């Protein structure tokens, strides 16, 4: 836990020292963001979540691999600077049924009036196997950038109570993120709920080019007995 505290403190220090530039992932480290892929951009994400120094043949070990494709689908230049929609598919290797779907629509900052926050409404993990993978997470988010301080996001989600639990099928979504320099970006986020999705996560991203980057992060889950995971995420735009 001391290492976690020092890592978070280090992130906050970097955020405080850096100048803000725009960050463009469709998610933060774990939770969704209000960012939306531009029209015609195909986003490939390869996300790995694994426990460290744990035996994968026991319940202590975990290694999940997710391949995702997301594309922006709003063609009109008249509205594309104010409003966006993206749709996507995910292929999860460690799943009872591998195929999942997601979608998001939203308004960008200043779209409604000068100083208005960005807004996003969407859903993900729409599985194809009833009562097994149809987690059906639905959410709403608002986010506001405060100059060089960074961006704050807040929202709420709910999902399929048959899979998440009748009393644990919803929760808050919170995050703080910012870019520093032209290459680095970082985020801290939280997803409420005592279920398999609830977690506190943090990490940093490095841009390999203007079209590719990777994220290194750490996830601490809310559910009792759930093991922390290290995450490595590769993002490429075509």
Which pLDDT score, from 0 to 100, does residue 16 have? Answer: 39
For residue range 61-106, list pLDDT tens digits in order.
677 899 999 999 987 555 667 889 999 999 998 767 889 999 999 9
Lowest mean pLDDT among 7-16, 91-100, 134-143, 209-218: 7-16
Average pLDDT over residues 144-157: 96
Confidence at residue 77, expressed as pLDDT on a 0 to 100 scale: 56
8, pLDDT greater than 50: no
- CATH assignment of the domain containing 205: 2.40.160.40
Taking the model in full, what pTM does it have?
A: 0.85
Q: How large is the average pLDDT for residues 184-209?
A: 95
Whether residue 11 is predicted with pLDDT greater than 50 in this model: the reply is no
Q: Answer yes or no: is pLDDT of 118 > 50.
A: yes
pLDDT at site 207? 94
pLDDT at 167: 87
Q: How many domains does the chain have?
A: 1
Q: Range of 150's domain?
A: 2-237
Rounded mean pLDDT of 172-176? Answer: 98
Q: What is the pLDDT of residue 222?
A: 94
- In three-state form (DSSP H/G/I as H, E/B as E, the rest C), the secondary structure along the chain is CHHHHHHHHHHHHHHHHCCCCCCCCCECCCCECCCCCCECCEEEEEEEEECCCCCCCCCCCCEEEEEEEEEECCCCHHHHCCEEEEEEEEEECCCCCCEEEEEEEEECCCCCCCCCCEEEEEEEEEECCCCCCEEEEEEEEEEEECHHHCEEEEEEEECCHHHHCCCCCEEEEEEEEEEECCCEEEEEEEECCCCCCCEEEEEEEEECCCCEEEEEEEEEECCCCCCCEEEEEEEEEC
- pLDDT at residue 51 in the model: 87
């Amino acid at each position: 836990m001391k290492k976690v505290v020092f890592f978070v403190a280090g992130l906050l220090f970097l955020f405080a020292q850096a100048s803000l530039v725009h960050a463009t992932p469709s998610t933060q480290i774990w939770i969704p963001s209000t960012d939306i892929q531009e029209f015609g951009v195909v986003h490939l994400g390869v996300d790995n979540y694994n426990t460290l120094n744990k035996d994968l043949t026991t319940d202590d070990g975990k290694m999940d691999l997710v391949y995702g494709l997301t594309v922006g689908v709003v063609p009109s230049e008249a509205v594309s600077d104010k409003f966006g929609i993206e749709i996507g598919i995910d292929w999860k290797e460690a799943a009872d049924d591998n195929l999942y779907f997601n979608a998001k629509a939203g308004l960008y900052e200043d779209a409604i009036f000068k100083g208005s926050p960005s807004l996003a409404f969407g859903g993900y993990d729409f599985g194809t196997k009833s009562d097994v993978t149809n987690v059906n997470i639905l959410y709403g988010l608002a986010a506001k950038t405060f100059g060089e301080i960074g961006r704050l996001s807040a929202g709420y989600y709910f999902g399929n109570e048959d899979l998440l639990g009748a009393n644990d099928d919803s929760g808050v979504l919170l995050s703080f993120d910012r870019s520093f320099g032209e290459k680095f970006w970082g985020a801290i986020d939280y997803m409420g709920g005592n279920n398999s999705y609830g977690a506190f996560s943090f990490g940093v991203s490095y841009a390999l080019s203007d079209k590719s980057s990777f994220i290194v992060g750490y996830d601490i889950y809310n559910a009792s007995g759930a093991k922390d995971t290290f995450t490595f995420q590769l993002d490429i735009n075509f």
